Amino acid sequence: MIKLKEAARTARTGAADVSQTVRDILADIEARGDEGARDYAARFDAYDGPVVMDADAIAAASARVPQKLRDDIAFAHDNVRRFAEAQKTSMRAFDMELRPGLTTGQRLIPVSAAGCYVPGGRYSHVASAIMTVTTASVAGVPHIAVASPPGPEGIAPAIVHAAHLCGADAILAMGGVQGVAAMTYGLFGLPQADILVGPGNQFVAEAKRQLFGRVGIDMIAGPTDSLILADATADPEIVAVDLVSQAEHGYNSPVWLVTDDRALAEAVMDRVPALIADLPGTNGENAAKAWADYAEVILCDGREEMARESDRIAPEHLTVLAEDLDWWLSTLTAYGSLFLGEETTVSFGDKASGPNHVLPTSGAARYTGGLSVHKYMKVVTWQRATREGARPVAEATARISRLEGMEGHARAADVRLAKWFPGENFDLSAAE
C-alpha cells in the first residue's frame, strides 16, 4: 500500500474546544427557559421573530416553494418513506414459550417525542428534513419537532415545506445549541424530546453529546467523509467529480481514493484542481481546503488489500467503481452506506434515493449504522409464567443468587416456592 497523496490533517485535527461554551449555554437555557433560548437566538441567529411556526406561516412558506421543487421533495419523501417502511417490517413483535409454562416476548414501542435538527445557514438541508422526519413518522412517533436556524425572514421555505410534508408536528425557527436545548427541555410548549437526531455543526454535535443519557441521540457526528474504491475500469472523470462533490461539504471533510491502478489515480489527481476551481464561492473554497489538507489517494496491491484498507478507514459513504460488484458487496464490512457502481453516487443518497443519509462519521461505521426507523423504536421484552412453569426458574434463581452473594434476590424466589408448593423441600443452597 502506497499513499500517492497523504492527508496533512484528520477530521479530529485542530478541532475547537467548544465543550465549555456549549455546557454554559445549555445550563443557562435550562435555568431561564424560553427567555434564555430567545436570547441566544437573537445573539447567534440575529432573529427575534416567532419561534414556533403556526399553520398560516407554514402554508405561506410552502406557497413560496416552486412546484417543480415540491415535486422533487415529494419524490424524495416517497423513496425515503418506502425504504423506512421496509426497514420497519424487518423488526417484529413476537412471543414464544421458552419452556412449558414460561412465555416470553418482545414489543416494539416508538419513543413519545423526537427532536429533529435540520441545518440551515450556508446550505439549506432540505434532504435532512426529509430523512429525519420521515423515518420518525414511519416509526409512529406521536410528536415530531423540527428545529432549524432561521435567516432574517425565517427558515428557508423549502425546509418548512419538506418538514411539514414529512409529518412534523412543530417547526421551530431556532438553530444551534438553543434549538437543540428547546427540543430537549420541552420549551415553547413542546413535549420534552426522547431522542435528538440530525446533523449539525460542531456546537450542535457537542450539545447532543452532552445531552446523551438525558435523551437518546442518533450519533455524535463529525465532518462528513467519503471513500471511493476504484479499479482500472472506473471513469476517472466520474471518480474526480464524486470526490469533489463530497469535499464541498466543508473545509475539513475527508475524502479518499483507494485503487489498485496507478494510471487511474494520477488521472484523478490531475482532474481535481480544475473541478474545484470551477465550483462557485465557498463551495470551491471548502473543497480546495478539504482536498489540500484532508484528502488521500492510496495505491493498493489488488482488491483484497483495497477492501482491507476501506474497512480500516470505515467511511461514512463508500462508493465502489469496480468490476464484480457482488464480490465487494459480500466482502466489505465497515461503512455507513454503500454505493455500488457508476449508476449510484453519494449525491443520490444524500438527497433522494431512499436509504437514510444521516450516517456514522470518523470511523464510527466500525460499530454502528446510520439513522433508521429502528432508532426511534424501543425494543422491550416481557414475560409471563404459570406456577409450574416458574418453578425451575425460581429454583435456579435462588441458587445462582446465593452463589453471587445476593441473598435478597434468592429470597424473592424462596417466598414464591414456599407459597406455591407448601410442604415441599427444595435444595436452594448456593451451587457448588
For residues 88 and 141, give the distance between their C-alpha atoms in angstroms, rounded to a whole number.
Answer: 13
The one-character DSSP state at 210 is H
Answer whether 201's CB lies under 8 Å from 253's CB.
no
Catalytic status, residue 161 = no
Residue 313 CA to residue 334 CA, distance in Å, equals 8
Would strands 317-321 and 337-340 be described as parallel, antiparallel, or unpaired? parallel
Q: What is the largest CA-CA distance in the chain?
A: 89
Q: What 3 state SS string does 373-394 have?
A: HHHHEEEEEEEEECHHHHHHHH
What is the distance between the alpha carbons of residues 115 and 125, in angstroms, rounded to a whole number? 16
Chain centroid offset of residue 226 CA: 15
* Helices 176-185/202-211 angle, 10° precision: 30
Length of the chain: 432
Point out the catalytic residue in the list 296, 317, 323, 342: 317
Phi, psi of 179 (to 5 degrees): -65, -45
Concerning whether 309 is annotated as a catalytic residue, the answer is no
Look at the block and give the residue holding cell 435444595: 427
Choice among 206, 248, 296, 316 that is catalytic: 316
Give the CA count within 13 Å in the CB-facing half-sphere of 60: 8
C-alpha cell at 307: 477492501
Residues designated catalytic = 316-317
